[in-house]
Amino acid sequence: MVLSRPPKLCNFLEWKEYKIIFKRYASLFFVVCVDRSDNELIVLEIIHHFVEILDRYFGNVCELDLIFNFHKAYYILDELIMAGELQETSKKTVLRIMAQQDAQQENPSEHKVDL
């Protein structure tokens, strides 16, 4: 439904009792499904926010980054949104926490290599 829409149309669709809001960045589509009563524009802004963070984290994000590091993308999303609500609005904080967690993950594995 989203893919078949020609560009230059508006980014909202009504689907069952929800709304689908999507945005396209190059070849990547970001699709969000929200309640009817939610604000469409804010969702678009959240998508943009997410993309910006991805971009900073991966350094000019592309499709392959997300495919091979799908778990990272999920981690970032979890940092950003919890229980359907925007939880952390600061890009810097998200990136900092991600870096810290990655460091945590690294340490044990380095130990393992040493052993």
Under rule CB under 8 A, residue 115 binds another protein: no
Q: DSSP assignment of 3-20, as one string?
A: TTSPTTS-SEEEETTEEE
Distance of CA 70 to the CA centre of its chain: 10
Q: Residue 28 or 93: which CB sits closer to another protein?
A: 93
Best CA proximity match to 41, nearest among 14, 17, 12, 13: 12
Under rule CB under 8 A, residue 59 binds another protein: no
> CA-based angle 33:52:22, to the nearest 5?
25
- As measured in angstroms, the least distance from the Cβ of 26 to another protein is 18
Under rule CB under 8 A, residue 27 binds another protein: no
Among 50, 54, 75, 76, binds another protein (CB under 8 A): 75
Under rule CB under 8 A, residue 29 binds another protein: no
